[in-house]
Chain A
Amino acid sequence: MSHTNEVLITGVGTATPLGSSYREVGDNLLAGRSGVRQVTRFNVGDHPSQIAGQFDQVPTPEGWDAASFGKLSRQMQLSLWCCAEALRDSGRWTERKSIRLGMVMGIGAEWLIAWEADAAQGGQRIQCPSEDSESLVQSLRRELHMGGPVASVSAACASGNYALAQAKRWLELGWVDVCLAGACDMAVTPMSLAGFGNLRALSRRNGDPQAASRPFDKDRDGFVMGEGGAVFVLERAETARRRSVRVYAEVAGFGASSDAHNMVIPSPDPKPAIQAMRLALADARVVPSEIGYINAHATSTPVGDSAEARVLEAVLGDSLSKVPVSSTKSMTGHLLTAAAAVEALACLVAMERNAVPPTINLHNPDPECKLCHVPNEARPHPVRVALSNSFGFGGSNTCLVLRAA
């Protein structure tokens, strides 16, 4: 098999409610631990939903002064941590200035979050456009001394999959030697928790936070917000193999479509989402029987989970009863713009350890979601090919295929 067009993942940086390293997040995913808890960073007294997947502090990357790092916005801290860790993990840190290093980052509400944070501290930045002279990706490019192109992309909760697909394409086109790709989102803010809450999208199981995110369970009542991110180093197979570095997986395929139905509600017609999955499988030259694991989008909303189950039924056909499906949002919460990136990481964990992370809180499977569930405990299972579905507001449907390399 020719490796000419293969694009491989050679580095991972992450921070999520389940930890701030690939190993730690992987351990916690397979142990079925929940990172959801009561929100304490701000007053949630009048919020309909008062829980979220959170972590307290972004670690300071090696080489940064802790005090200066602490003054950066939380979104910048998270992104910088993930990028720096991914580069170190891939062995590209010291040479990052001499290669054409690009970046595609999923970021959905950068300015809304920045303006809200500033206003909460009594600032007037929202009324001073001249203060918004540099975007997050531009700041990251400057801080990391990168020489290649950068872009932020957003398809809401599907952003991370688009970022990986764009980065892969940039490598194929020869625009970059190495590309950072992923998504970071620090969206657990007073206004966004209120906005999603008022949209009636969030779980109100405030008294039992760790049981609130329960995808595919009959008793689910909405999703639980989460924060965090994951960034990957992507490079062509020929350069990765020449360096003899650790390879996590091949970015084997991607498919995308739009519902063209509603900005918030998934389409009752499963065809567009089916199309996204089939495009991804065709792009990766994979048939359903080869799939070892599917990380479902399944957010724990009554409508969304059953809609995705219908999509999986159509795409998997005879393999439906054999392909393990789980939703790691049951443990992390829904990381919104960053969800797809962190779920790609969950797929890497499944491939590396030949074990499928569970859907926790799945005690009473919804009869409308007849899938090969992995309820509450990880399941040992060989995984050579993993799929990650991510759907988003605006009607976006995406599917990413990762293959053991």
Chain B
Amino acid sequence: MTAHGCVRMTGEDLLALRPQLGGMIGRTLPTSLLKHGDEQTIAAVACIGRAIQNSDLGTTDFTNWGVLAAPRFLGRTTMLSAVRRFFAEGAWGVSPHMIPHRSLHAISGTLSQALAIHGPNLGIGGGPGCASEALLAVAAMVGRDPLPGVWAVFTGWDPEPMPGQDEPVGARPVCSAVALALRAADPSWRGLRLRVAPTKTRTNGDCVSVEALCDWLESSPATTGGWRLDCGGAVELTPGVASICCIHAKRLAA
């Protein structure tokens, strides 16, 4: 894993972020690109921006990379409004932007444009278990010639925002997004490693999710993180050798 970025934002945060997204990824974005984009799409661009800012990928040309995006229940709130409008106004009330910007491929398609990626772009999952499905898909893609790297992006709300309903106390809707820049394994690599093992048996622990990945990556742990894949198997994130040494050295000094 050559870079990673996480964001956790409320709807208001995401609204405020829209005009800043081009700057976050170091590119000029056409104004039309994100105009109709979902909030999860905004979060996806933002977490890639974080990943680029936190790494040395700022000057990388992503032309030949691939991008996978695994949203969870993309477009629920927009669909709620669209259904109401359709029942009230009929066919003419359905926005032509609904399908291109709220279907499963919408985030990966937008990211391919935002980063000028001409490799494959693919939406994965879309519902419960989407993180597991995306990890399987990306593990099958990484290292395939001619892909120098693949972005894997995970997004989802918890709890999901529901316009017109009272917000539960202490549970303000937060959109989490994680971007991982992945390349094929290299024995000399000393940074973070992602291992997806669909044939490995792992019965304990939680299923992997965008929130679990976010928690682990933000806490910079010294030990390997492990989760179950939704349909069996395991996924592990192993800290870089350099970071483990650094943490051990600090402990010794203390």
Interface residues of A (CB under 8 A from B): 44, 46-48, 100, 107-112, 115-116, 119, 126-127, 129, 132-135, 137-138, 141, 147-156, 159, 162, 166, 169-170, 173-175, 190-200, 256-264, 272, 275, 279, 392-396, 398
Contact call A166/B126, Cβ cutoff below 8 A: no
Given A107-B104, A195-B94, 19 extra CB contacts under 8 A: A109-B99, A112-B102, A126-B76, A126-B79, A148-B232, A149-B136, A151-B137, A153-B122, A153-B123, A154-B105, A154-B122, A194-B92, A195-B99, A197-B91, A198-B94, A198-B95, A258-B117, A279-B146, A396-B105
Contact call A135/B92, Cβ cutoff below 8 A: no
Interfacial chain A residues near B230, Cβ < 8 Å: 138
Number of interface residues of B (CB under 8 A): 68
Q: How far is the CB of B162 from chain A (nearest CB, A)?
A: 6
The 3 A-B pairs of least Cβ separation, nearest first, read A394-B109, A154-B104, A194-B91
A258 to B73, CA, bound (A): 24
A398 to B105, CA, bound (A): 14
Interfacial chain A residues near B121, Cβ < 8 Å: 155, 258, 394-396
Partner of B136, one of A44, A129, A151, A197: A151
A115 to B130, CA, bound (A): 18
Interfacial chain A residues near B165, Cβ < 8 Å: 127
Contact call B233/A258, Cβ cutoff below 8 A: no
Contact call A155/B122, Cβ cutoff below 8 A: yes
Q: How far is the CB of B38 from chain A (nearest CB, A)?
A: 12
A170 to B133, CA, bound (A): 12
B103-123 interface bits toward A, Cβ cutoff 8 Å, 1 = contact, 0 = none:
111101110110111111111
Contact call B128/A263, Cβ cutoff below 8 A: no
Partner of A156, one of B80, B103, B140, B229: B103
Contact call B92/A393, Cβ cutoff below 8 A: no
Contact call B122/A138, Cβ cutoff below 8 A: no
* CB contact under 8 A between A46 and B92, given known A109-B104, A191-B86, A393-B105: yes
Q: Which of B92, B118, B144 has the most CB of A within 10 A?
A: B118
* CB contact under 8 A between A263 and B91, given known A156-B105, A192-B99: no
A398 to B122, CA, bound (A): 11
Interfacial chain B residues near A44, Cβ < 8 Å: 91
Interface residues of B in 122-147 (CB under 8 A from A): 122-130, 132-134, 136-137, 140-141, 144, 146
Residue B75 at the chain A interface, CB threshold 8 Å: yes
Contact call B232/A263, Cβ cutoff below 8 A: no
* CB contact under 8 A between A47 and B120, given known A135-B128, A149-B231, A150-B231: no
Contact call A133/B83, Cβ cutoff below 8 A: no
Q: How far is the CB of B203 from chain A (nearest CB, A)?
A: 14
Partner of A147, one of B110, B112, B127, B232: B232
Residue B199 at the chain A interface, CB threshold 8 Å: yes
Partner of B137, one of A115, A135, A166, A258: A166
A198 to B97, CA, bound (A): 9
Partner of A198, one of B67, B92, B122, B231: B92
Contact call B126/A154, Cβ cutoff below 8 A: yes
A194 to B98, CA, bound (A): 10
Interface residues of B in 143-202 (CB under 8 A from A): 144, 146, 159-160, 162, 165, 198-199
Secondary structure of the A side of the interface?
A: mixed
Partner of B120, one of A110, A173, A258, A393: A258
Interfacial chain A residues near B105, Cβ < 8 Å: 108, 154-156, 159, 392-394, 396
Residue B9 at the chain A interface, CB threshold 8 Å: no
Residue B100 at the chain A interface, CB threshold 8 Å: yes
Residue B96 at the chain A interface, CB threshold 8 Å: yes
Contact call A198/B119, Cβ cutoff below 8 A: no
Q: Which of B80, B108, B121, B198 has the most CB of A within 10 A?
A: B121
Q: How far is the CB of A105 from chain B (nearest CB, A)?
A: 10
Residue B101 at the chain A interface, CB threshold 8 Å: yes
Q: Which of B67, B87, B141, B231 has the most CB of A within 10 A?
A: B231
* CB contact under 8 A between A260 and B96, given known A109-B104, A111-B73, A155-B122: no
Interfacial chain A residues near B137, Cβ < 8 Å: 151, 153, 166
Interfacial chain A residues near B96, Cβ < 8 Å: 195-196, 198-200
Contact call A111/B106, Cβ cutoff below 8 A: no
Contact call A263/B198, Cβ cutoff below 8 A: no
Residue B205 at the chain A interface, CB threshold 8 Å: no
Q: How far is the CB of A349 from chain B (nearest CB, A)?
A: 27
Interfacial chain B residues near A260, Cβ < 8 Å: 112-113, 115-118
Q: Which of A46, A154, A193 has the most CB of B within 10 A?
A: A154
Q: Which residue of B lies closest to A187 (CB)?
A: B99
Contact call B112/A138, Cβ cutoff below 8 A: no
A306 to B113, CA, bound (A): 23
Q: Which of A108, A137, A194, A263 has the most CB of B within 10 A?
A: A263
Contact call A257/B104, Cβ cutoff below 8 A: no
Q: How far is the CB of B188 from chain A (nearest CB, A)?
A: 23
Contact call B140/A169, Cβ cutoff below 8 A: yes
Partner of B128, one of A132, A169, A198: A132
Contact call A141/B231, Cβ cutoff below 8 A: yes
Partner of B91, one of A48, A152, A279: A48
Q: How far is the CB of A120 from chain B (nearest CB, A)?
A: 9
A102 to B252, CA, bound (A): 48
Contact call A133/B128, Cβ cutoff below 8 A: yes
Interfacial chain B residues near A109, Cβ < 8 Å: 99, 102-104
Contact call B104/A191, Cβ cutoff below 8 A: no
Contact call A256/B79, Cβ cutoff below 8 A: no
Contact call B94/A257, Cβ cutoff below 8 A: no
| A/B interface sample: 11 pairs, CB < 8 A | A109-B104, A135-B126, A148-B198, A148-B231, A152-B125, A153-B123, A154-B103, A155-B121, A159-B105, A194-B93, A258-B112
Residue B217 at the chain A interface, CB threshold 8 Å: no
Interfacial chain A residues near B124, Cβ < 8 Å: 151-154
Contact call B140/A166, Cβ cutoff below 8 A: yes
Q: How far is the CB of A361 from chain B (nearest CB, A)?
A: 25
Q: Which of B87, B100, B109, B231 has the most CB of A within 10 A?
A: B109
